[in-house]
């Protein structure tokens, strides 16, 4: 949805440690809280929570312990939420195949789903705050 410009991290900055299945519920609730603080509507909060729960499931299925980071993101006047985590289990996969699999599972829920190269690779998802996704009433 947004291209170019500098991406600036803004509060809230939250982290979820994923170690067992109970963390799926914690991840959902933390994602809802972060999205609420950024002004997302209840429906968008549920969408973000579902994407974070799906990412948590991916982490648990890989049998890895990982931290998921959630934070606000700004490019100019555009605000959004970014969810990211390291993905060492994807280090041996081709980046293209890893990205295809991630987008197949998460792409309908988020505006951006990317796999940043590196050691380890890093999953990064963004949902931008648009007029249909905000709790603010325009013109009231």
The CATH number given to whatever domain includes residue 124 is 3.30.565.10
pLDDT at 3: 53
- How many domains, the chain? 1
CA distances, 14 to each of 1, 67, 85, 96 (Å): 24, 10, 12, 29
- Give yes or no for residue 117 having a pLDDT over 70: yes
pLDDT tens-digit series, residues 84-112 = 999 999 999 888 998 999 999 988 899 99
Cβ density class 47-73: b for 16+ within 10 Å, e for less: bbbbbbbbbbebbbeeebebebbbbbb
DSSP 69-133: EEEEEEETTEEEEEEEEE-GGGTTS-HHHHHHHHHHHHTTT-SEEEEE-SSS-EEEEEEE--GGG
| Domain membership flag for residue 138 | no
pLDDT at 138: 46
- Give yes or no for residue 128 having a pLDDT over 70: yes
| Domain membership flag for residue 119 | yes
pLDDT at 74: 94
| Domain membership flag for residue 17 | yes
Q: Which pTM was predicted?
A: 0.88
- Give yes or no for residue 45 having a pLDDT over 70: yes
Structural domain boundaries, residue 108: 8-132
| Domain membership flag for residue 137 | no
Per-chain mean pLDDT for the chain = 90
> What confidence tier does 29 reach under pLDDT thresholds 50, 70, 90?
very high
| Domain membership flag for residue 139 | no
| Domain membership flag for residue 59 | yes
| Domain membership flag for residue 109 | yes
| Domain membership flag for residue 1 | no
């Amino acid at each position: 949805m947004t291209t170019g410009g500098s991406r600036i991290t803004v509060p809230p900055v939250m982290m979820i440690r994923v170690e067992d299945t109970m963390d799926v519920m914690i991840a959902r609730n933390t994602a809802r809280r972060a999205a609420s603080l950024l002004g997302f509507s209840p429906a968008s909060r549920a969408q973000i929570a579902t994407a974070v729960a799906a990412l948590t499931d991916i982490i648990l299925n890989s049998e890895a312990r990982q931290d998921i980071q959630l934070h606000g993101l700004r490019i100019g006047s555009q605000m959004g939420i970014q969810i990211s985590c390291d993905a060492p289990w994807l280090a041996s996969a081709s980046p293209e195949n890893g990205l295809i699999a991630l987008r197949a599972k998460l792409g309908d829920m988020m505006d951006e789903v990317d796999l940043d190269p590196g050691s380890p690779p890093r999953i990064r998802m963004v949902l931008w705050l648009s007029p249909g996704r905000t709790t603010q009433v325009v013109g009231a």
